[in-house]
Amino acid sequence: MRFLTYLLCLFSTLFLFACGGGGGGSDSGPTPPTPQPVQNVQALVIDNGPAAASGSVNAPYVSLTICQPGSTTQCQTIDHILVDTGSSGLRIMSSVLASNLALPSVASANGSPLAECARFADGYSWGSVKQADLRIAGEVASGISVHIIGDSAFPSVPSGCSGSLVAENTVAAFHANGVLGISTFIQDCGSACASQALEGWYYSCPSSNNCTATTLAVNRQVGNPVAVFPQDNNGTVIQLPSVGANGASGVTGSLIFGIGTQANNALGSASIYTLNSSGNLSALYQGQVMQAFFDSGSNGLFFADSSIPNCTNSKGFYCPSSTLSRSVVNTGLNGRNSTVNFNIVNADALFQANPNNTAFNNIGGGAAFASFFDWGLPFYFGRSVYTALEGVSAGGTTGPYIAY
C-alpha cells in the first residue's frame, strides 16, 4: 500500500513535467511566485499542566488548533497538548472540545462508526475516531483521523482494551488536554491492524454498547500528523534549554517541524543513529544490553536497576541516598555510538526542596517494560533531538532515526 502511494506520486510529477515542456516557446507567460517557507516552529512549555490536572513535572506542552475538515472558521485552539515522541497520532480529551465543533465520524469497512483503544505504559484511553484538520505553527494536516478520548458515544469498554490497565480517559488522569504523537511511525498501528482485527486497537461499533475489534486500512488510521503536512513532513526537532541540578520553572523550548527543510532544522553537527523497525536502538547500561527508545512523553529516565531504591512518596521514581552518576552507550543500526552521561537524584527530596519547579534533568525510575531503556524528557534538556519518520529521507538519510 505504501509502495503504491509512492509510485502514484512519481507518475504525477512526471506528468506535470511533460505538460510544462509541451507549453514551451516564446510565450512563456508570467513567472510563478517562489513558494515561501511556512512558519514551522511551535513554542513548547513545561509547566504545572492544565488546570484540571495541575502538578505535572517534565511534561512538554504545545497549543494547537483543530478544525472541522475543510473549514478555517469552525475551529478551536486547545492548550496543554502533550508532545510525545513515543507515540503517533493526535488524541484529544472530549471534555475540552467545544460542543459546537462537529467532527465527522470515521467509519469502519462495514460502515459502522469507529472507536479506538490506545494502550500506554501506565494505562489505556478509549473513545471515538473522528476526522479533523490540525493547524499548528504554520503547518496544516488536513482530513486526518483523530482519537477523541473519553466521549460518551461508546460507554462500554471492551475487555481486550482495558485489560488490567488503569483508565486514562479524563484530563485529570491523563495530565493533559490531549497528546500530539510524533514518533518515527507514520501510523499508530500500521499494516498489522490493516490485516488483522487486533484487540486493543480499532473497534467497529454498530451500536453504543457493541464494539468488536476490526481491521482498518492504514490511510484511515490515527497517524503522525507531521507525515501529512504538505511541507516539513519528514520529522521533527525538539529543542529545550539546559536546567540546573535543582530544576527550573517556566521552561520554554521549541518544537520544529521538518529536518533539513528550512534553515532552522538543519542537522548541523548532530549525529544520526538509525533505528530498527520497532523504533529502537541498542543501549549498553551497567554491562547489560537493552533496547532503548526516545520518548518525550515520559517524564523521567526509566530503566531497570535493582540497586537503586524506589521512592516512598514519588511513586515510580528512584530515591538513592545520594546522587548517582550513570552512563549509557547508545548504538544505532548504522554502527554509530556515543556515551550519554546522566545523574539520578532522590526524587522525594528534589521535589520537596523545589516545589515550584516543573523541569528536572536528573529523575528516573524503574522500567515499565523489561529490558528497555526509556530516554524520557530529562534526555532532551540542553539538546536538539531530531526524530525522523520511517521510510522518508530527512537530511540525506532515510528514517527511522534519532539524531542529537
Which range marks the domain in which residue 300 is found? 268-403
For 354, counting Cβ atoms within 10 Å of its Cβ (0-12 exposed, 13-18 middle, 19+ buried), the class is: middle
DSSP conformational letter for 186: S
**Which helix H or strand E contains 349, and what residues bound it?**
helix 347-353
Q: Are residues 282 and 392 in the same domain?
A: yes
Its sign, for the CA torsion 124, 129, 135, 139, is positive
Q: Is residue 255 part of a domain?
A: no
pLDDT along the chain (404 residues), means of 10: 26 27 44 75 97 92 98 97 97 96 94 94 91 98 98 94 91 96 97 96 95 96 97 98 97 98 97 97 97 96 97 96 98 98 98 97 91 97 98 97 98
Domain match, 197 and 297 both: no
Domain boundary (162, 197, 228) is at 228
Query: Is the CB of residue 179 less than 8 Å from the CB of residue 134?
Result: no
Q: Specify if 2 maps to a domain.
A: no
Residue 221 near residue 244, CB atoms below 8 Å: no
**Whether the Cβ atoms of residue 164 and residue 184 lie closer than 8 Å to each other:** no
Residue 246 lies in a domain: no
Is 290 inside a domain boundary?
yes
Strands 123-136, 372-375: parallel, antiparallel or unpaired by DSSP? unpaired
- Per the structure, how many domains does the chain have? 2
pTM, whole model, 2 decimals?
0.90
Q: Where is 162: in which H helix or E strand?
A: helix 159-162
Query: Among all chains, which residue has been given the C-alpha cell 554502527?
Result: 335
Residues 291 and 207 in one domain: no
Q: Are residues 275 and 385 in the same domain?
A: yes
CATH of the domain at 391: 2.40.70
User: Do 178 and 291 lie in a common domain?
Assistant: no
Cβ neighbors of 70 (< 8 A, separation 6 or more) are 133, 142, 143
pLDDT of 110: 92
Rounded Cα distance, 374 and 369, in Å: 9
Q: What is the model's pLDDT at position 35?
A: 60
